[in-house]
Chains A and B, each alone.
Chain A
Amino acid sequence: MTDPDTPPSRHAYHPERLDSGPGQFAARPYAVTHGRTEASTPLDMMSLVRATGNRSTPLVTLGLVHAEALQLCRAPISVAEVAAHLKTPLSATKVVLSDLIDLRLLMARFPSPEPDFFNDPTTMRAVIDGLRAL
């Protein structure tokens, strides 16, 4: 979850320098602004989300995009997949999903800023076995 005392430089979404030419500097404003001011849960494109099944917020009060996003999350799904199905940019999708998390309609894995995938030998062997079986 967001730590308001954490300096912005420690947050997940840093403005990245885009060396696309002399004098050009790019930042990802959605990540820098929405990520800190509107989205209270930092999400990575690979973060998994799923609906909580919570009934406290009537679904009819959600906007169309939020409702559609929630529908996509009945089973665990990555942020990237939600963005692809909604046909919205990743940045906007993260804000929508973060709203749903705030409403307790959605839960996320990897709430920490630094995603880490379980790249350990046992897991990799399991994937190799699984691929061989396909």
Chain B
Amino acid sequence: MASEHSDHADPLFPTQLKILVAGGFGVGKTTFVGAVSEIAPLTTEEVLTAASAGTDDLTGVHAKTTTTVAMDFGRISFPTKNLVLYLFGTPGQDRFWFMWNELSRGALGAVVLADTRRLDNCFGAVEFFEARGIRFIVALNEFDGAHRYELDEVHAALRIGPHVPVVRCDARDQRSANQTLITLLESVLARAGHTTAHHAANPASAEPAGTHGSTQ
């Protein structure tokens, strides 16, 4: 949890949290971020240089190609609480896993947006977060004309356990996207063994059984 290096109570800076928004290309990550962010989504890029595979060059100088990885992100500030929540969209192309690693550092969890037209496009994200023990929920972004999934169908299709919340979401709608974030946060709290007052007062609610230290 808290690192001894960081000064979280520093009055000069707000406390930060970070949530990732993942999912396949075109699923609506930027739309989702834009729906909740207090600023229009920004794009930040990292440039990386790859040595090409050629081994014929006897001088040992390899050709280089540069690739740009772009990430859209947004922000929600809570000034009265001295908090700021950042929402980072994962890179559109799945192959930039190293960037996902950097993005994942310190992230409290992720929203995996699932496109009901192409559900398998979020397999990569699901596997990534499961492998690293990062808490996530699946949010079905429903497109017109697509198959309407029952939530347990999604659990089966994505091979995720019942403790992973699957919710419906309209990425364009602020309230819907907001509620999705709340669901993720509550899920993270529940998995850590804490409950919010809402759930404590309503024990019959569909709260996934928190199992401490269990793997997904």
Binding site for B on A (CB under 8 A): 16-30, 44-46, 48, 50, 76, 78, 80-81, 83-85, 89-91, 107, 109-112, 114-121, 123-128, 130-132, 134
Question: What distance in Å separates the Cβ of A78 from its nearest Cβ neighbour in chain B?
Answer: 7
Report the bound CA distance from A45 to B103 in whole Å: 9
Report the bound CA distance from A121 to B6 in whole Å: 18
Name the residue on B nearest A83 (C-beta): B44
A109 touching B49, Cβ below 8 Å:
no
Q: Contacts A26-B48, A76-B12 hold; do A124 and B108 have CB atoms under 8 A apart?
A: yes
In the A-B complex, the 3 residue pairs with the smallest Cβ-Cβ separation, listed nearest first, are A112-B5, A23-B53, A84-B42
A46 touching B86, Cβ below 8 Å:
yes
Question: Which B residues are in CB contact (< 8 Å) with A76?
Answer: 12-14
B48 touching A109, Cβ below 8 Å:
no
Chain B 1-13, CB-CB to A under 8 Å as 1, else 0, gives 1110111101011
Report the bound CA distance from A24 to B62 in whole Å: 11
- A-binding segment of B15-23, B26-34, B149-157, B202-210: B15-23
Chain B 89-130, CB-CB to A under 8 Å as 1, else 0, gives 000000111100110011110000000000000000000000
Q: Contacts A24-B53, A121-B192 hold; do A84 and B105 have CB atoms under 8 A apart?
A: no
Which among A46, A76, A78, A91 has the highest number of chain B CB atoms within 10 Å? A46
